[in-house]
Amino acid sequence: MSNCLTVTNAVEHAFCPRFTYFQLVLGIEQREDKRGTVQSGRTFHSRHSTTNKNYKIKRIDGIKQTELLLYSKKHSFSGKIDEAIETEDEILLIERKYSDYILINSTIKTQLGLLAILAEENTGKKVNKALVVFNKTERVEVPVNITEKIKQTALLMLQKTNSTITSGDMPYSKHDNRCTNCCYRKICP
Ligand code: SF4
* pLDDT tens per residue, range 146-161: 999 999 999 999 999 9
pLDDT value of position 37: 43
DSSP state for residue 33 in the 8-state scheme: G
Where does the pLDDT of residue 25 fall: very low under 50, low under 70, confident under 90, or very high at 90 and above?
A: very high
The reply to whether ligand 1 has any atom less than 6 angstroms from the CB of 132 is no
The reply to whether ligand 1 has any atom less than 6 angstroms from the CB of 188 is yes
Half-sphere exposure of 167 (CA within 13 A, CB side): 13
Residue percentage of the chain with pLDDT more than 90: 74
Ligand 1 atom nearest 178 alpha carbon: 7
Q: Where in the chain are the domains?
A: 5-181
**pTM for this model (two decimals):** 0.88
Mean pLDDT of 80-105: 94
The reply to whether ligand 1 has any atom less than 6 angstroms from the CB of 126 is no
Mean pLDDT in the chain? 88
List of long-range contacts for 122-125, beta carbons under 8 Å, 24+ apart: 122/68, 122/70, 122/71, 122/72, 123/86, 123/91, 125/86, 125/89, 125/90, 125/91
User: What is 5-181's CATH number?
Assistant: 3.90.320.10
